[in-house]
Amino acid sequence: MIFKLESISFNDNETIPSKYTCDEKNISPSLEWKNFPTGTNSFAIIVDSIAAYGSAWNHWIIYNIPVEINKLEEGIAALPKPAKLGVNSWKTKKYYGFCQPGEEHYYYFKLYALNDMLKLHHRASIYNIKKAIEPHIITKTMLMGRCNPIAIKQIPQHKQDIMDAITIIRKKDVNQSIKKRALQEIEEDALES
C-alpha cells in the first residue's frame, strides 16, 4: 500500500482555500496520512513554496511527530508531544500561510517517515533540520496545493521589499558576520512593520 498524505481542506493539485492564507484566518489546513512503513518511529512535515529568485520559502516545519499520530487538525494550536516546531522563513515557530502576490504559486506539503526521533537545537535552521532528516528517511510523500493570487491581497510594498532583501542577502557571497548583521537588522525592521 502507498504511503499517502491527504487533506479534507483541499485536494492534491487543487486550489488552497483563502482561509489558510494571510488574507484571512492564516490557519493551518488539516492533514492526515496513512500506510506508513514498518520501522517508522517519527514523522516530519515541511511546507514550502518557491519564492522570489527561485529560493524555497518555508511556511511550516514540524518534526518528532510520534508514530501514534496520523492526523493534524485544522488550525492546530498544540502539537502532540514530543513534536517540535522548526523556525520558518519568517523566523517564527508556527504555521504562516501563503502571501505571494503575482502569478499562481505552488505549495508543497512534504511528509517524511523517519526511523528515529531527531536531536536538534530548538532554533535549528531549515538547513540543519533537512540535514538531520536525510539519513533517517524511510520514505516520503507529498501533497501539492495551488494558490490563486486573486484571492490573496497584496503584501504591503515595504514587507515585500524586506522579503526580497533577505533572499538577496542570503545569496550574496559576502562576509558571514556582515551577512548575519544585515539579516538581523532587516528582520528586526520586519517585526516592527
More confident residue, 1 or 179: 1
Cross-strand bridge partners of residue 63 = 84
Find the length of the chain. Answer: 193
188 pLDDT tier (thresholds 50, 70, 90): low
Q: Which residue, 183, 61, 175, is CA-closest to 124?
A: 61
- Between strands 137-147 and 14-15, the pairing is parallel
The stretch 71-94 carries a mean pLDDT of: 92
More confident residue, 46 or 170: 46
CA distance 159 to 162: 5
The stretch 136-147 carries a mean pLDDT of: 93
The stretch 15-40 carries a mean pLDDT of: 91
126-158 as b/e: b if 16+ CB within 10 A: beebbebbeebebebbebbbebeeeebeeeeee
- Run of H or E residues at 129: helix 126-133
The radius of gyration computed from the CA coordinates of the chain, to the nearest angstrom, equals 17
- Grid coordinates 518555508 are at which residue? 58
The phi and psi torsions of 122 (rounded to 5 degrees) equal: -65, -15
The stretch 132-161 carries a mean pLDDT of: 74
pLDDT at 173: 52
pTM for the complete prediction? 0.75
pLDDT of 157 higher than 60: no
CA distance 149 to 64: 33
- Amino acid identity, position 63: Y
- Amino acid identity, position 33: W
- Run of H or E residues at 161: helix 157-171
